[in-house]
Amino acid sequence: MKSVRETVTELCNKTDYEIYFDMLNRDISAHRLTKEKKDEIIKKSMETAVQCYNEVVSKFGELNNPAEYAIRLHIPINYVNEKPNKYYSYVGIFTEKNQTITLNSETIAFIKQLINQFGIADLVDPNQIKSTVTAHELFHYFEFIHPELYTNQKILDAKILGIFKTKSSLLAAGEVAAMHFAKLLTKLHYTPLVYNKIFALGKKQLL
């Protein structure tokens, strides 16, 4: 079995394309897509992230921390303390109703603790979790205010009851773009997905 260090090192060394291709393949509704279509979705999702990144940086300049963009955009950041468990947990969420980002301090603290416990603080920065999650949720805010964004479009051909042709959206496209946006905004040299992976590896310890 691979050690945590090996798993994390492997993930840190993957290219953005490899990371996003894996993310897309984990979305069950993307299974029937051709390789060409998947490549197109990844390319356009990454472009969407760059587009939002350029928008925010041209408006406010290069700020030190994603939270500072939230302040400029008048998006409140709330904190909750909900202990993660085996069945349900989240690190952050953007709520459309009141346009708010909520961060779960308990889950953030748990991932930090895991990084120290696994002895991998030399590979991934435990102090970047909060800003990474904030940046990720900021992308969902941009999706909310810009309905025309590619990741909001109905990308998939679907059939209801096998008869009526319709289109449906692809959640993974928005997640790829949010991940890429977070990487751009935080200037991490590894994929932000590594924090999700560490959390997944440590979840066994939870009740």
Residues forming contacts to Zn ion in the complex (CB under 5 A) are 178
C-beta closer to Zn ion: residue 120 or 143: 143
> Which residues have C-beta within 8 Å of that of residue 109, sequence separation ≥ 6?
none
How big is the chain, counted in residues?
Answer: 207
* Least Å from the CB of residue 138 to Zn ion: 10
* Least Å from the CB of residue 181 to Zn ion: 10
* Burial class of residue 125 in the structure, from the number of CB atoms within 10 Å of its CB (0-12 exposed, 13-18 middle, 19+ buried): middle
Please give the residue whose beta carbon sits closest to Zn ion in the complex. Answer: 178
∠ Cα 131 186 49 (to 5°): 110
* Least Å from the CB of residue 70 to Zn ion: 15
d(CA 52, CA 142): 7
Half-sphere CA count of 74, side-chain side, radius 13 A: 1
C-beta closer to Zn ion: residue 120 or 174: 174
Number of H helices, E strands in the chain: 8, 5
* Least Å from the CB of residue 145 to Zn ion: 16
Element (H, E) at 185: helix 171-186
* Least Å from the CB of residue 176 to Zn ion: 10
C-beta closer to Zn ion: residue 178 or 198: 178
C-beta closer to Zn ion: residue 172 or 178: 178
C-beta closer to Zn ion: residue 33 or 178: 178
d(CA 19, CA 34): 17
